Each structure stands twice: as C-alpha cells, then as structure tokens.
C-alpha cells in the first residue's frame, strides 16, 4: 500500500479541524466524487453542487476519509470552511516539504506544455511533483500543493489568470524559488482596459510570492521583456533570458521540424547544443529554452533536461499528431484543439508551412475567445499568416471566424459553418490521402469536435 499522504490527525492540525467518526489515512486527494481513487481524501467543496451531497458516494467508491463542514456519516475531519481548509492543507504541505525546490510557470501561451516538460525533467532527476492537467486556478494550485508528498525534492506548478490580482495569491501559496513567464500576448485582453499592458502587469504578479534570491526565466523576444525584467529585479530576483535575441542566456539558433519531430539548435550560456524533440510546432523552440533554464535553476543537470525534452510527447489537443488511415491512403492530423490565440495561431501556421507534404496543407479553425472588441480584427489578421504558410484550404467555424472567412481568397476557402459541429462533416468529406490537416481553436469554441470527427475516420480503428 502507498505511504499515507495525510492522516486525519495531521489534517485536523493543519486545518484547525476536528476528527469525527474515527481516524483514517489518505494516499491521495480528490474534489470530484466521480474520480475517486482507492484511499483518497474527499474534500466537500461548494460549487455548482455542494460537495456534501456526494460524501456517501465518495466513501462507497473508495474514499478513506472526508473534509466537511457539517456532520456526516463516515470518517471525517470537520472544519469551519472546506475551501479554506484546502488552502491551509496546501500551505502545510509546502511547509513540511521544506527541502523541496519549487518552480512556477505562467504566460499567455504554452504554460501547460512548459510545466509538464519541466515535470518530465524533474522526474528524471529525483522525487518530483507537479500540477496535473491545467490545475492552475484558485482551487487547482492549493489542491496541487496539498497533494505534494513530504519527501518531494522538486515541484513545478502552473499558475493561470483571467483577471488582475489572481496570480498574486497563488504565487504566495507556492512561494516559488524559480518562475517562468513563457510570453505575454493578447489573451484575456477583454478583461483589461489597457489591453496587453494589463496582461503583462498581471503576469508579473508571479514575482509577488517568489522566495528571496529567486530566479525569473523570461522571454527576451517578447515586447514586454523589459517591463517584466524590471519587475523581477525590483523584488531581488535574478533574470535568466531565453529566445532568439542576441545575448539571451538560452539562445535559440535554429528549429527544424521533420515528420513527427524537430531538431533544436541553441547556445546555452555559450555552449552549442543540438538535440531532437518529439514536437513539430515552432513555439517549441523557445519553449525548450525556457524548460532548460528552469531545470538548470532547479538544480537538474543539463544532460537530464535534454533527455527529458527528447522523450516528451505532445499533450492531447496541444500538437499531438497522428496518421489517419482512409480507404485511399492516410492523411496526417495535427490536433491543436485545446486552445488558441493570435500568438499560437501564427506559430502553428508557420510550423505547417515548414512541413513537407505530399498533398495539401489544410487548417480547420474555430473562434479565438476573450479577445475583446478587437476580436474580429485579430481573426481577419490571420489571413496573412495563412498565406505566408502556403495553406491550401481553410475551414472556419464561429461568428468571429467569419471575419477571417470574409477576407480569404476564394482559392483558399474550404468551407464555413456557424458551429464546429456543423463544420465537422464538411471537413471530413474534403480530406484525402496525403493531406496535412491541423485543427485549432479555443476550447470553448469546440474545435475538439472536429479533431475527434477526423480521428474517427480511421479505417484502421474500424475496418
């Protein structure tokens, strides 16, 4: 049996709670009764539904104990407020793993991929811990902390935001020794009256919790590099830079995509490096530099970092690539359906343009969300990137993508629909063997429906 993560008495001490109905020892933590693992602690949070409605179900499906704010059947720790208890448990986990080096990643684009790539390097170097999925908000960050084992040597946390003043409390929870801001761009700008400047200030909040003498890994190619560097230096952090810019500590020299992988050429503190990664997106050039700088700052050997990058596979919906077999041959599907914004769109198109294809380059696009009143202009502006990438056919879904559709030349128009669900059959009918097909859009505009429909065409799955 796994070592206990928390005992009832430890939880009660950390959360100012009271043990009820006998003690217990938990090996994990869940806030969702539908995904309980045997031995979990279930925390009854209030949400759309009150978690207390599901305590019986949680116990029946394997939970060993509960954190609750009212009397329940079964072993539990009763507290005044279950959400506050989660936060306190996170702080207690951080304090008891006193020797752990903690990293935190934020940014307008790439934070989940960079976080998980850093996690891969940390895991090769020793006992590691990290966020799962995109657990980067006011619940996900303390939950990730609370799940951190006491013997953790290194941990990395993803920190996200939609508005100002959201990152500061999360950074103060984590108290990272190393932070990275992947980039700043027009993402969530509808929530900031001064646009990207507001986004940059919000991202700089990650410095508010950095430990004294900490290290800030920043993108030297980003227009906000100067502002972010000044903010980092103001709190006493050391700045380490990455990008193509001359003088970067980790300078990207070349990124050469091939079928299913790319070769990265770089100079890291003056040392020339060349290594393969299992990614093809051009954004993985600077991402790799950020990962190596973070790992080095977290005391992971360079060779281990390069090995981790070389084995790190694309995450679902973030560039995962597969061959889909049709009766006439196969086409290649690149699934970028998890998220989209003007920065990642441009990078994805550039990657597509650099790929060798035997058929056509096809892109399927759904709306980019949270861009504010300039949303239509951002969408229309994608046309020049599509032309530069020599994309043959463009399929669009959504009211915002209509602005792009209207400015595309007739020769590039593949099809338009109001929704992703309505677009799917048009795309499925159009693809043929030899095509390179990329699906990209914001998660909320359901680009994943098109990616799933294309993947389902695979005759190898259902001959």
pLDDT tens per residue, range 310-364: 999 887 777 888 899 999 899 999 998 888 888 889 988 988 998 888 999 999 9
pTM for this predicted structure: 0.80
Query: Which among 56, 83, 110 is the end of a domain?
Result: 83
Residues 410 and 435 in one domain: yes
Query: Which among 83, 109, 131 is the end of a domain?
Result: 83
- Residue 461: inside a domain: no
Mean pLDDT by 10 residues, the chain (463 residues): 88 97 95 93 90 94 96 95 97 97 94 94 96 86 96 96 91 98 82 84 96 97 97 98 97 90 95 94 93 98 95 82 91 89 88 89 94 92 95 96 97 96 95 95 90 90 62
- Residue 460: inside a domain: no
- Residue 90: inside a domain: no
Residues 307 and 324 in one domain: no
Across the strands, what pairs with 25?
Answer: 7
What is the rounded distance in angstroms from the CA atom of residue 24 to the CA atom of residue 39?
9
Residues 72 and 104 in one domain: no
Return the pLDDT at 108.
87
Residues 289 and 354 in one domain: no
Return the pLDDT at 186.
77
Return the pLDDT at 395.
98
Domain of residue 27 covers: 6-83
- Residue 462: inside a domain: no
Query: Which among 27, 49, 83 is the end of a domain?
Result: 83
Return the pLDDT at 340.
86
Residues 295 and 334 in one domain: no
Residues 43 and 106 in one domain: no
Strand, helix or coil for residue 219: strand
Alpha carbons within 13 A on the beta-carbon side of 27:
8
Residues 422 and 362 in one domain: yes
What is the CATH number for 133? 3.40.1190.10
Residue pLDDT, tens place only, 81-116: 999 999 999 999 999 999 999 999 999 888 999 999
Spatial CB neighbours of 352, under 8 Å, sequence gap ≥ 6 = 334, 361, 363, 389, 391, 436, 438
Sort strands 250-258 and 238-243 into parallel, antiparallel or unpaired: parallel
Residues 113 and 192 in one domain: yes
Domains contained in the chain, number: 3
What is the CATH number for 331? 3.90.190.20
- Residue 1: inside a domain: no
- Residue 88: inside a domain: no
- Residue 402: inside a domain: yes
- Residue 263: inside a domain: yes
Residue pLDDT, tens place only, 288-313: 999 999 999 999 999 999 999 999 98
Return the pLDDT at 1.
52
**Do 294 and 105 form a contact (C-beta atoms < 8 A)?**
yes
Residues 307 and 325 in one domain: no
Residues 153 and 46 in one domain: no
Cα dihedral 26, 29, 35, 38, rounded to 10, equals -10
One-character DSSP codes across 240-275? EEEESSTT-SEEEEEEEEETTEEEEEEEETTEEEEE
Q: Which helix (H) or strand (E) holds 118?
A: helix 111-125
Residues 393 and 332 in one domain: yes
Residues 135 and 223 in one domain: yes
């Amino acid at each position: 049996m796994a070592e206990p993560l928390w005992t009832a008495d430890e939880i009660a001490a950390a959360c100012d709670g009271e043990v009820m109905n006998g003690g217990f020892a938990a090996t994990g933590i869940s806030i969702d009764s539908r995904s309980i693992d045997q031995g979990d602690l279930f925390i009854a949070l209030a949400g759309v539904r009150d978690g207390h409605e599901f305590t019986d179900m949680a116990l029946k499906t394997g939970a060993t104990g509960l954190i609750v704010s009212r009397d329940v059947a079964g072993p539990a720790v009763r507290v005044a407020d279950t959400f506050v208890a989660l936060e306190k448990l996170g702080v207690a986990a951080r304090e008891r793993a006193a020797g752990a080096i903690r990293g935190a990643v934020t940014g307008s684009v790439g934070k989940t991929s960079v976080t998980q790539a850093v996690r891969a390097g940390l895991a090769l170097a020793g006992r590691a811990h990290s966020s799962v999925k995109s657990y980067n908000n006011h619940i996900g960050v303390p939950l990730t902390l609370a799940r951190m084992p006491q013997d953790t040597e290194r941990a990395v946390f993803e920190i996200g935001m939609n508005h100002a003043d959201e990152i500061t409390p999360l950074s103060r929870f984590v108290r990272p020794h190393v932070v990275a801001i992947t980039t700043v761009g027009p993402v969530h700008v509808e929530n900031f009256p001064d646009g990207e400047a507001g986004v940059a200030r919000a991202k700089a909040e990650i410095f508010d919790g950095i430990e004294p003498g900490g290290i800030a890994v920043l993108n030297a190619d980003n227009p906000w590099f100067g502002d972010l560097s000044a903010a980092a230096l103001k709190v006493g952090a050391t700045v380490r830079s990455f990008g193509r810019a001359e003088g970067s500590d980790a300078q990207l020299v070349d990124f050469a995509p091939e079928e299913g992988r790319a070769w990265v050429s770089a100079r890291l503190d003056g040392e020339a490096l060349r290594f393969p990664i299992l990614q093809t997106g051009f954004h993985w050039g600077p991402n790799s530099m950020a990962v190596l700088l973070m790992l080095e700052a977290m005391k992971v050997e360079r060779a281990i970092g390069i090995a981790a990058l070389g084995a790190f596979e694309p995450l679902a919906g973030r560039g995962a690539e597969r061959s889909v077999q049709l009766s006439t041959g196969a086409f290649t599907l690149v699934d970028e359906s998890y998220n989209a914004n003007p920065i990642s769109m441009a990078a994805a198109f550039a990657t597509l343009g650099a790929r060798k294809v035997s058929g056509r380059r096809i892109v399927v696009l759904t709306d980019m969300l949270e861009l504010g009143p300039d949303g239509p202009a951002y969408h229309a502006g994608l046309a020049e990137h599509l032309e530069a990438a020599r994309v043959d056919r463009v399929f669009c879904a959504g009211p915002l993508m209509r602005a792009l559709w209207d400015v595309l030349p007739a020769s590039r128009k593949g099809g338009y629909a109001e929704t992703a669900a309505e677009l799917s059959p048009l795309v499925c009918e159009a693809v043929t063997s030899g095509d390179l097909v990329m699906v990209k859009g914001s998660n909320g505009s359901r680009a994943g429906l098109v990616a799933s429909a294309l993947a389902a065409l695979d005759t190898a799955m259902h001959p």
